[in-house]
């Protein structure tokens, strides 16, 4: 049973550029959430996708956008990159189990903005 996968593992961009990160959820999972984790901090919720729509969004500017495909995979797009966008970007997938959802994380994409 494959876990959550993310690509690429590492990425280096310059300020002002745009980046797309990709995520495939665990088999049987229908919901994908994205998080940003800065060094020494806990992950911060960016947004969650379910049935190809953004269901909830955290406190992130609209430079951060996403998409979910019919096969439940997802993309995170960040436009006009800032130095402060350098972080580990985590994707987590989940499915409802007895009314609750447990999120499982992928290995992450480490983004460095120069």
Partner 1 sequence: QKEVEQNSGPLSVPEGAIASLNCTYSDRVSQSFFWYRQYSGKSPELIMSIYSNGDKEDGRFTAQLNKASQYVSLLIRDSQPSDSATYLCAVNKGGADGLTFGKGTHLIIQP
Using CB under 8 A as the criterion, which residues of the chain lie in contact with partner 1 when the complex forms? Answer: 33, 35, 40-48, 50, 55-56, 58, 88, 90, 92, 94, 96, 99-108
* Pairwise CA distance, residues 68 & 70, whole Å: 7
Helices (H), the chain: none
CB of 16 to partner 1, least distance (A): 28
CB closer to partner 1, 13 vs 88: 88
- What is the C-alpha to C-alpha distance for residues 114 and 47, in angstroms, rounded to an integer? 25
Nearer to partner 1, 15 or 55 (CB): 55
How far apart (Å, rounded) are the C-alpha atoms in residues 22 and 4?
A: 11
16 vs 100, beta carbon nearer partner 1? 100
């Amino acid at each position: 049973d494959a876990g959550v996968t993310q690509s690429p593992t590492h990425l280096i961009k310059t300020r002002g550029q745009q980046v797309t990160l990709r995520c495939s959820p665990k088999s049987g999972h229908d919901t994908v959430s994205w998080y940003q984790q800065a060094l020494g901090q806990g992950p911060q919720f960016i947004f969650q996708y379910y049935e190809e729509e953004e269901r909830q969004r955290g406190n992130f500017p609209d430079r951060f956008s996403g998409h979910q495909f019919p096969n439940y995979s997802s993309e995170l797009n960040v436009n006009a990159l800032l130095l402060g966008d350098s972080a580990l970007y985590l994707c987590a997938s989940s499915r409802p189990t007895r009314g609750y959802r447990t999120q499982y994380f992928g290995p992450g994409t480490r983004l460095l903005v120069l």
